[in-house]
């Protein structure tokens, strides 16, 4: 069964009972658990622009939102891939997923024709320890934070590689989102610039309590910003009105980077935005660059060590909540879509009997 949403109206959803068909070369994986955050809503918002809907095609007008999860091979018609292996990768929200698989050094990759134009990182399934961690919360925190942390780590690396564009402050919108928190963590670890978190009054105490931002400014108090300082914007919100306001206020804006879309209600074009024009950050491009410069092994070692540190730190500010079964997963989706989930909660979905 697949959880599908209406691509034209994201509040509409359905369960598709079409049974998956296993062919020669395929593997079938039971999805044991998956993470669901505001990032996944961003995938739906940018589904057409970035072809997230093309990851797991569905009949129009329906779409299948990609999620990061752990799946276990329960049937294999591929001589190179054994039953029982546990893999991390992108999945649809489902109980069982079929992959046209090709063996790789880290596990296997999806070689279905409709995946041909997608970056390798989006098609890879990485072999994991056969059993989940003895501490389920640690396993779940890693699942929740791995993908979004890597994105933020790469943003930080990109900015540092560009000498922060000469800026001494980085303004991060949607400061309570986990992707923003991960970026603040990376910036603080690097110590090259200050991180200013922009947030709402509702989330102010949480953001300040993280201790990761050098300053926290409310959306309705933007006059408190140092508007003369050389600045970079990293926009996780996708709020076009806010972005236009920031561009107009900042006298020395060096670079504007668009990453996410947590503010769904304000995504429409707000008209002309003062220079510099915002540029969309595409993580696979930075991965490819560093893989060529450092080698994939060194890149993975550096990202892995940084992720481990961030996951350990997250224990102090994030509580894991597991939603098991159809009804709970549908509620998980709707509450995230509505922006009703506390930033202090990390949500895991389960559609099999594995947990």
For the segment 215-237, the average pLDDT, to the nearest whole number, is 96
Q: The pTM is what? A: 0.86
Residue 262 pLDDT grade (very low, low, confident, very high; cuts 50, 70, 90): low
Q: What CA–CA distance (Å, rounded) separates 40 from 148?
A: 10
Segment among 28-32, 35-39, 162-166 with least mean pLDDT: 35-39
Segment among 154-158, 229-233, 249-253, 276-280 with least mean pLDDT: 276-280
Residue 354 pLDDT grade (very low, low, confident, very high; cuts 50, 70, 90): very low
- Whether the per-residue pLDDT at 182 is higher than 60: the answer is yes
Over residues 115-165, the pLDDT tens digits come to 999 988 899 999 988 766 556 678 899 999 998 999 999 999 999 999 999
Determine how many CB atoms are found less than 10 A away from the CB of residue 103: 12
The residue with greater pLDDT, 136 or 225, is: 225
pLDDT value, residue 119: 86
Determine how many CB atoms are found less than 10 A away from the CB of residue 322: 16
**Domain at 143-285: CATH architecture:** 3-Layer(aba) Sandwich (3.40)
233 contacts 159 by C-beta, under 8 angstroms: no
Q: What CA–CA distance (Å, rounded) separates 206 from 223?
A: 22
Q: What CA–CA distance (Å, rounded) separates 234 from 197?
A: 10
Over residues 44-75, the pLDDT tens digits come to 988 888 899 999 999 999 999 999 999 999 99
Q: What CA–CA distance (Å, rounded) separates 270 from 164?
A: 27
pLDDT value, residue 355: 42
For the segment 75-100, the average pLDDT, to the nearest whole number, is 95
Segment among 82-86, 125-129, 179-183, 249-253 with least mean pLDDT: 125-129
Residue 200 pLDDT grade (very low, low, confident, very high; cuts 50, 70, 90): very high
Three-state secondary structure call for residue 118: coil
Asked if the peptide bond before residue 276 counts as cis, ω within 30 degrees of 0, the response is yes
The residue with greater pLDDT, 270 or 125, is: 125
Non-local CB neighbours of 195 within 8 Å, separated by 6+ positions: 169, 170, 172, 183, 184, 187, 188, 212, 213, 214
pLDDT value, residue 158: 97
Here the tokens at position 343 are: 């930033």
The residue with greater pLDDT, 134 or 239, is: 239
Three-state secondary structure call for residue 44: helix
Non-local CB neighbours of 36 within 8 Å, separated by 6+ positions: 67, 93, 332, 333, 336, 347, 348, 349
Looking at the chain, the whole-number percentage of residues with pLDDT higher than 90 is 79
Q: What angle do CA 285, 290, 295 make, to 5 degrees?
A: 130
2-131+318-350 classified as CATH 3.40.50.720 = no
pLDDT value, residue 18: 83
pLDDT value, residue 213: 98
- Whether the per-residue pLDDT at 80 is higher than 60: the answer is yes
Dihedral sign for Cα atoms in the order 121, 127, 131, 135: negative
pLDDT value, residue 167: 97
Q: What single string gives the DSSP state of each residue in 157-215?
A: HHHHHTGGGG-SEEEESSTTSHHHHHHHHHHHHHTSSEEEEEE-TTTHHHHHHH---SE
Non-local CB neighbours of 104 within 8 Å, separated by 6+ positions: 124
Which residue in 7, 87, 45 sits closest to 266, CA to CA? 45
- Domain positions in the chain: 2-131+318-350, 143-285
Helical axes 136-161 vs 38-45, angle rounded to 10°: 60
Radius of gyration of the chain measured on its C-alpha atoms: 20
- Whether the per-residue pLDDT at 272 is higher than 90: the answer is no
């Amino acid at each position: 069964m697949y959880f599908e949403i209406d691509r034209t109206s994201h509040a509409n959803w359905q369960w598709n009972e079409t049974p998956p068909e296993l062919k020669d070369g395929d593997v079938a994986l039971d999805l044991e658990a998956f993470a669901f955050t505001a990032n996944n809503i961003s995938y739906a918002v940018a589904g057409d622009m970035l072809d997230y809907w093309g990851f797991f095609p569905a009949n129009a007008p329906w779409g299948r939102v990609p999620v990061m999860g752990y799946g276990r091979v329960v049937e294999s018609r591929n001589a190179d891939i054994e039953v029982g292996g546990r893999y991390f990768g992108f999945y649809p929200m489902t109980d069982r997923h079929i992959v046209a698989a090709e063996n790789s050094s880290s596990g296997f990759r999806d070689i279905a024709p409709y995946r041909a134009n997608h970056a390798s990182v989006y098609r890879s399934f990485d072999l994991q320890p056969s059993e989940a961690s003895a501490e389920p919360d640690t396993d779940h925190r890693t699942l929740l934070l791995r993908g979004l942390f890597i994105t933020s780590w790469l943003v930080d690396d990109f900015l540092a590689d560009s000498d922060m564009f000469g800026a001494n402050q980085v303004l991060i919108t949607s400061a309570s989102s986990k992707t923003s928190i991960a970026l603040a963590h990376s910036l603080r670890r690097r110590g090259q610039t200050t991180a200013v978190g922009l947030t709402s009054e509702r989330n102010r105490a949480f953001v300040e309590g993280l201790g990761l931002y050098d300053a926290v400014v409310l959306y309705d108090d933007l006059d408190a910003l140092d508007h003369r300082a050389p600045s970079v914007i990293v926009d996780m919100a996708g709020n076009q009105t806010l972005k236009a306001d920031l561009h107009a206020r900042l006298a020395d804006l060096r670079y504007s980077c668009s990453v996410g879309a947590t503010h769904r209600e304000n995504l429409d074009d707000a008209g002309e935005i003062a220079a510099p024009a915002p540029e969309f950050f595409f993580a696979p491009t930075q991965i490819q660059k560093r893989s060529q410069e450092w080698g994939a092994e060194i890149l993975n070692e550096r990202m892995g060590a940084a992720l481990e540190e961030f996951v350990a730190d997250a224990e102090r500010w994030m509580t894991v909540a597991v939603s098991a079964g159809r009804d709970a997963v549908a509620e998980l989706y709707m509450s995230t879509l509505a922006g009703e989930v506390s930033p202090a909660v990390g949500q895991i979905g389960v559609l099999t009997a594995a947990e």
